[in-house]
Every structure is written in C-alpha cells, then in structure tokens.
Structure 1
Amino acid sequence: MRVILIIAVISTLLWCACGSNFVVGNVANRVDLRHHEQVQYNAIPFIKRVKYFFYTDPQNKVIEGIQALDNLHSKSSINITAGGVGSTFVNLRLKSERGGALDYDIGIYTRPDFI
C-alpha cells in the first residue's frame, strides 16, 4: 500500500512539472482555427515576466475554444482575465517562472460558417 502511494505521488509530481499547456473549450471537433499567434518574451534574471494577450473577433464570432501550448515546457502560468469561451473576445495573462522566458503558441477556435 505504501509503495503504491509513493508511486502515485511521484507520478503526480512529474506530471505537474512537465509544462503548462492551457486548453479551454472545444478545440478538436467541428471548429475552425480563427487566430494563431506565437507569444514570446525574453528572460530577465531573477524577474518574473508578465505578458498580456488580447483578442477580439472582427466578425463578432463566438469563441468555442482556446489553446495555449508552452513551447519551453516551463513552469509558467496562464489565466483568462476577461471574456473567453462563449464570448467574442478573450484577454489572457501569461506569467513566466522567475528568471524564465515565455514562448506560447496561442490558438483561438470558433464555429465554422457552414454549421
């Protein structure tokens, strides 16, 4: 029993340390990639870097999904500060680990016109 608990704790810690990809909503079935952008920010030693990403759909289409993939597999974090799935805009806040850089591929998905 103790061995199983130790293995579970170690696997959970390894899973948490492998990066911070962010997926909200539907990004796989019957949606179109509406906007793609690579967000990068250089590292400064001993400082956490914060970058904001703003997207508003020019045709007022409702956002179905948001996907942000961490290319560096770092311990950075990403949050939705306004809008998001079910809205026509989204504001994201990206924060790096101390002394680390940011490198995200951000995709915004909407419902296609033919559905």
Structure 2
Amino acid sequence: MKTITILALVVAVCKVEASHFVVGNIADRVQLYHHERVQYNAIPFIKRVKELFKTVPEHKRIQGIQALDMLQSKASINITAGGVGHSFVNLRFKSERGFGLDYDIGIYVNHDYL
C-alpha cells in the first residue's frame, strides 16, 4: 500500500511542470506597477520567441517580477537586461517546439519611493 501511495505522489509531482518565474520581492511593501498577458500562437515544429521590454519611472525601482505560465508548458523565461533594482527589464520568452506562449506578467515596484 505504501508503494502505491508513493508512486501516486511521484506521478502527481511529475505532472505539474509549469514554468512559473518569480524573481525578487512580490509580497512585502510592494505594489503592482504593470500587469500584462503575453500570448503567442503555436506554429507546428517551431519554437516561438518573444521579447518584452518594460520601463518604470526613473524614481522607482523594480522590486519583483512574476510570470505565471497559463499553459503549464515547458517554456523558458530569461531576463536579458535590467531587472530587480533597475528601472527597466527585458524579458525573453521561448516556447517548446510546436507550442505557443501564454504568460501572466506582473512587475512590482516599492511603494516607498516617491
């Protein structure tokens, strides 16, 4: 009975392979500055690549970035410029071959900056 329970747990863990991406602080003393949905249609046998560049006012700094994979895919996300501690960020999304992209993006800034 224990082996069946362990096997079921392993299968459940293996089935949840979402590529959620969280960097920095998205909980304490921060506010959501920008929210966007990034979607890109699938093309058979092709990896889809999309770049997203966002800036915040110069007197604010990015405290956290959250990207939730709505397709539960094996897509990847990289920060190619800026990011936490900067006033800009450039995100690069790359899908699996033959799949699209669908991410819910949130960029958080510290509300203490005036």
TM-score bracket, normalised by the shorter chain, equals 0.7 to 0.9
Structure 1 unaligned residues grouped into runs of 5+: none
The yes-or-no answer on 1:32 pairing with 2:39 is no
The match for 2:21 is 22
Q: Among the aligned pairs, what percent are the same residue?
A: 65
TM-score w.r.t. the length of structure 2 is 0.85
State the SS of the aligned residue for 1:19.
coil
Question: Alpha carbons of 1:111 and 1:96: their partners in 2 closer, same or farther (altered >3 Å)?
Answer: same
State the SS of the aligned residue for 1:72.
coil
- Contact persistence 2:60–2:113 (CA under 8 A): no
What stretches of structure 1 move > 3 A for 4+ residues in a row?
A: 10-17
Structure 2 unaligned residues grouped into runs of 5+: none
User: What is the rounded CA distance, in whole Å, between the counterparts of 1:84 and 1:94 in structure 2?
Assistant: 15
The match for 1:43 is 42
- 1:107 Cα shift? 0.4
- Contact persistence 1:17–1:75 (CA under 8 A): no
Given residue 88 of structure 1, which amino acid in structure 2 is its aligned partner? S
The match for 1:56 is 55
TM-score w.r.t. the length of structure 1 is 0.84
